[in-house]
Chains A and B, each alone.
Chain A
């Protein structure tokens, strides 16, 4: 006895995963930016890499509620894998990317065992610890990684056997942009699937998630693995587009920065990492040009204001001097 061709329920469920106009506009803008940002391609490339890294953190933080201070472990692992693969096995970037993503995913699957139990504080410490371990490993194994000097002599092959990585970062930016877009497409599919919705459910209420028959640990492990793979892709992009990997990719500041990026851009809606990365890099660029040494001071001040005022209000200056509207 269904009178309407599609019920309200079906329509509402279908609407949730439908592409919104602003999403399509953003994707189009990203593509167009390659032509618009010609001379800033190097910076834009860094933004795209940071954005991908932040989106990967958002999957575990914003969706599954796993706090991490060591997400650089996967970023760095992807970076070193890609660089080592190019140096010793094969210079093709796409094959290297695939290998790095798989390696990071594998590491994520192994490490996911460590984050299943415990409080947020436990997870902060465990993730921080894992990243520190990898930093020191890369430092100690200097016969393999070059230690503090970094991995020298990585020569990347041309992309698709045709496009050489140029000094201005044009090829690099195109490459990073495509990887980011593909990753976003996959991540978007995932977060709107039953699996993706179940992540928010188990973040909200573990007890209830179990009570509807969901295996909480299996899901946490799966999303951790997926996020690690994306972080590895971001790391691989950095190594491949710069032709270099150094200890810096495992550094604590990377894990902290990517968390800041998400705090700025917002968590749990997938695009926070992108907006955050743009804002973060632009702020960095702007402040560094103006006062090179004190970038940290202004970033710190911005974060304090952001946290106290709130993102929504900060973006709407006209509400600043109004009494609370409710």
Chain B
């Protein structure tokens, strides 16, 4: 398998605290990879390093073998590294349709056009139609995002990431705050992504992780504690001790 995203000895220190400690991670093309670990294990910090929101103290990140450690966040997105946020990060003054149209325009490289109206391009309209239908946002597409119900906001959060057509999708607890009954639905849309898209998932719900992921990395205290396929991780007694033992059941 080809490795798409790779970190080499990634370290991030905040003052005296080491949030990410010597993490070397390989995400393969088409991976369904889960990142688990107890609270404070440094999962979100790692995502922030991968997307460029934070700069690593040392180590490097490569996309398709090309070093992207010092590349600005928006340029990583253009190269296909896209994330969702644990806490919704949305454009409150826009509507879902405007948000998606803007995101699709950005992906198509036409978001800096200043003379033609948003949505003049037929590709934007078509992509928005598909996304709105897929995420059942078509009935609220013209409402202000700030006024949407939480569930719809969560769907928009995921839809916005999908609208960027990621090659590597980083999902930071995508179903956080979503009622149990609607969680599977979100995962269905993620599962429906093309095979060549690599997905890195941070999730607390072990049942969801073991249903969705094929490979798992366990982070503890910022360092890689265990790695392997779902089968071996779910039966690893050490993992059970640090993680499953406390959170499960």
Contact = CB atoms under 8 A, between A and B. Distances in A.
B117 A210 contact: no
A17 B132 contact: no
Contact of B119 (A10, A190, A195, A207): A10
B141 A194 contact: no
Contacts of B161: 211
A263 B98 CA distance: 26
Given A200-B93, A215-B74, A13 B102 contact: no
A16 B106 CA distance: 19
B26 interface: no
Contacts of B98: 16, 197
B106 A212 contact: yes
Contact of A17 (B94, B111, B118): B118
Given A204-B94, A213-B107, A13 B118 contact: yes
B51 A211 contact: yes
B117 A16 contact: yes
Interface secondary structure of A, over-half rule: helix
A16 B97 CA distance: 11
Interface in B78-117: 78, 82-83, 85, 89-94, 97-99, 101-103, 105-107, 110-117
A204 B92 contact: yes
Nearest to B131: A9
B118 A12 contact: no
Interface residues of A, number: 37
A210 B85 CA distance: 13
A8 B96 CA distance: 14
B219 interface: no
A240 B127 CA distance: 50
A193 B74 contact: no
A283 to B, nearest CB: 29
B147 interface: no
Most interface-central of B82, B93, B97, B138 (chain A CB within 10 A):
B93
Contact of A13 (B91, B110, B125, B164): B125
A207 B89 CA distance: 7
Contacts of A215: 72, 74
B97 A194 contact: no
Contact of B97 (A12, A200, A214): A12
A124 B195 CA distance: 50
Contacts of B163: 212
B77 A210 contact: yes
Contacts of A208: 85, 89-91, 160
Interface string B205-234: 000000000000000000000000000000
A205 B111 contact: no
Given A201-B94, A214-B74, A207 B118 contact: no
A9 B92 contact: no
Interface in A283-306: none
A219 B114 CA distance: 11
A45 interface: no
B102 A193 contact: no
A90 interface: no
B129 interface: yes
Given A196-B118, A201-B102, 6 more contacts: A7-B129, A13-B125, A17-B118, A190-B114, A211-B82, A213-B77
26 contacts: A8-B141, A9-B125, A9-B128, A9-B132, A14-B119, A189-B114, A193-B117, A194-B102, A194-B110, A194-B113, A196-B118, A197-B118, A198-B112, A201-B102, A208-B89, A208-B91, A211-B51, A211-B82, A212-B77, A212-B102, A212-B160, A212-B164, A213-B106, A213-B107, A214-B111, A215-B74
Q: Which 5 A-B pairs rank lowest in CB-CB distance, beginning with the nearest?
A: A13-B119, A213-B77, A17-B117, A195-B114, A208-B89
